[in-house]
Amino acid sequence: GVTLALKNGRILAWGAGNSSGLRGPGATTNQPFPRAVPSAVAGFSALSASHFHALAIGPGNVVYAWGSGLRGALGDGVDGSSRVEPGLVTP
């Protein structure tokens, strides 16, 4: 699976595969070293991840999500969508 961590407000990812897109766009092979997950947003303060999707708190306590949107997990109102970069969860 993919491992996620926060360092200095950036999201890092490493591990096996990338079927849910948690490691960002274009990541298809195993990644043994932490790499930044591409994001237009910086300054994340908290992170929660499952096997298929992840959530992060960004500046202003705004929630971002990426990975698999199966069963609406990304909070974008769409069942089955997916995202390879953290995107705003819309209330």
CA angle 46, 24, 79 (to 5 degrees): 80
Predicted confidence (pLDDT) at residue 9 exceeds the cutoff of 90: yes
pLDDT for 78 equals 83
Average pLDDT over residues 37-63: 93
pLDDT for 22 equals 86
Give the DSSP letter string of the chain: -EEEEEETTEEEEEES--TTSTT-TT--S-EEEEEEPP-S-----EEEE-SSEEEEEEGGGEEEEEEEEGGGTTSSS-TTEEEEEEEEPP-
